[in-house]
């Protein structure tokens, strides 16, 4: 497998204009913030205790809800989605269950955003390529990351990401939960496999860098995953907590360089995985997965110097629900330094997360400054990448949108993917 050493050239390939934020569309109808008191929590704080500033529950609830990314079933704006948006959720994750065709996805994303009124709502999806792409045909079929890595050409990663970015932007999606930056180095593991660019840390680093630049050049935020590295474990975190037993020296030589390179690429967000990584909590018996570990997040912030949004992998995965209550996991993740929480399926759990965080802030166990810090990072990301939908009455914008949707799955995109698959096949013969 050929390995590329020229990473900076990836920025010069496949040029496209960077989309700046349009003038926001303000919904004339203000959505009333819906909330309910959590049983056992104080209603609203009436007086300061120990010199702490007074906190208003409605203000706290609005800020806390911004940290939640929720998922729902259905292909249109339904009661579940309306309810969570009215509570103030900051983002929505789409799955194949939400998809019929490009025009429907574009309408759904726009309707979700319009429901949020003048509040910015981020829409995200897993569109990695290979067997993890939620938007199937007629969207362009994207090859596995491993196939892209086998070309030996970082420009292939930039080109793939550019196509994905164009098609996501056409349907009003703001963030792609990609690329996978795990180094697939464990032959016994089937957890990551072809989702990884390769078995070499340097190759994964450079291909990840090019992918991020190509995607974000199209105005779509990248979220690199799964920090600190899911490639050398044998347990799937969808089922239980995997163990990553290596010391910090090994991690800094193998697992972490791709994430460091992602920071160099100015990646918008990083997803932290539910991995047991002993080197981040030392001799303490009170171990927590990386997604709930202050040591893991501190390393990301202080050593890798990442300043963007840290997103925890879904809290409904087996790695969490088999060992923790979802409320406990949410609280500890935020205290550890995570900014956004994925709760992808169940409304009851999504509401429970909001209620638990509100309770802990009002009781003083989570400093409100920690919530404000997370909201500030989320706001900065949204300012750069989230687009408000145009007014439905704007004929020009409607025609412009339809023209963009028509480019999805076009011959140019299909031909480019075919060329990349062919190039990978040729390289594998050498």
Rg (CA), the chain: 21
| Burial zone of 80 (CB within 10 Å; 0-12 exposed, 13-18 middle, 19+ buried) | middle
CB-based contact 184:193 (threshold 8 Å): yes
Choose the catalytic residue: 238, 383, 414, 422: 238
Q: Which of 174, 182, 313, 339 is catalytic?
A: 313
Among this protein's residues, is 238 annotated catalytic? yes
Specify the residue for token string 């799964």.
226
Could you tell me which of 105, 18, 120, 22 has the C-alpha nearest to residue 397?
22
Tokens, residue 106: 């574009």
Using alpha carbons only, what angle is made at residue 424 by residues 161 and 130, rounded to the nearest 5 degrees?
Answer: 50
Q: Which runs of E-coded beta strand occur in 10-84? A: 68-70
**Degrees to nearest 5, angle at CA 121 with 80 and 358:** 70
Residue 153 annotated among the catalytic residues of the structure: no
Contact 290, 219 (CB under 8 A): no
Evaluated on CA atoms 327, 331, 334, 336, the torsion sign reads: negative
For 342, list phi and psi in degrees, rounded to 5. -90, 125
Q: How many CB atoms lie within 10 A of CB 405?
A: 19
Catalytically active residues, by annotation: 238, 313
């Amino acid at each position: 497998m050929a390995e590329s050493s020229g990473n900076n050239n990836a920025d010069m390939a496949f040029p496209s204009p960077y989309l700046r934020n349009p003038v926001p569309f303000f919904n004339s109808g203000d959505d009333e913030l819906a909330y309910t008191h959590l049983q056992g929590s104080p209603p609203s704080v009436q007086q300061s205790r120990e010199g702490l500033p007074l906190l208003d529950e409605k203000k706290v609830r609005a800020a806390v809800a911004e940290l939640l990314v929720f998922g729902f079933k259905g292909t249109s704006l339904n009661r579940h989605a309306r309810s969570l948006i009215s509570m103030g959720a900051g983002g929505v994750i789409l799955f194949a269950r939400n998809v019929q065709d490009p025009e429907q996805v574009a309408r759904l994303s726009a309707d979700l955003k319009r429901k949020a009124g003048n509040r910015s709502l981020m829409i995200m999806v897993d569109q990695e390529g290979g067997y993890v792409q939620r938007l199937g045909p007629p969207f362009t079929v994207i090859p596995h990351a491993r196939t892209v890595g086998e070309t030996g050409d970082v420009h292939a990663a930039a080109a793939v990401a550019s196509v994905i970015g164009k098609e996501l932007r056409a349907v009003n999606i703001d963030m792609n939960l990609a690329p996978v930056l795990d180094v697939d180095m464990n032959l016994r593991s089937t957890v990551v496999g072809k989702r990884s660019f390769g078995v070499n840390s340097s190759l994964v680093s450079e291909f990840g860098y090019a992918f991020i630049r190509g995607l974000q050049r199209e105005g779509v935020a990248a979220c690199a995953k799964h920090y600190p590295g899911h490639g050398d474990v044998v347990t799937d975190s969808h089922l239980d907590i995997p163990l990553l037993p290596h010391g910090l020296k090994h991690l800094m030589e193998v697992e972490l360089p791709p994430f460091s390179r992602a920071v160099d690429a100015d990646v918008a967000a990083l997803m932290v995985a539910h991995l047991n990584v002993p080197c981040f909590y030392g001799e303490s018996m009170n171990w927590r997965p990386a997604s709930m570990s202050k040591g893991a997040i501190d390393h990301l912030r202080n050593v890798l110097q990442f300043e963007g949004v840290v997103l925890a992998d879904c809290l409904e995965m087996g790695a969490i629900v088999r060992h923790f209550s979802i409320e406990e996991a949410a609280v500890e993740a935020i205290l550890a330094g995570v900014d956004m929480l994925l709760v992808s399926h169940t409304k009851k759990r999504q509401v429970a997360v909001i209620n638990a965080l509100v309770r802990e802030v009002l009781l003083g166990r989570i400093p409100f400054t920690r919530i404000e810090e997370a909201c500030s990072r989320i706001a900065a990301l949204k300012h750069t990448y989230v687009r408000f939908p145009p007014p439905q009455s704007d004929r020009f914008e409607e025609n412009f949108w339809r023209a963009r949707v028509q480019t999805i799955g076009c011959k140019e995109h299909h031909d480019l993917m075919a060329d990349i698959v062919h190039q990978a096949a040729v390289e594998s013969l050498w």
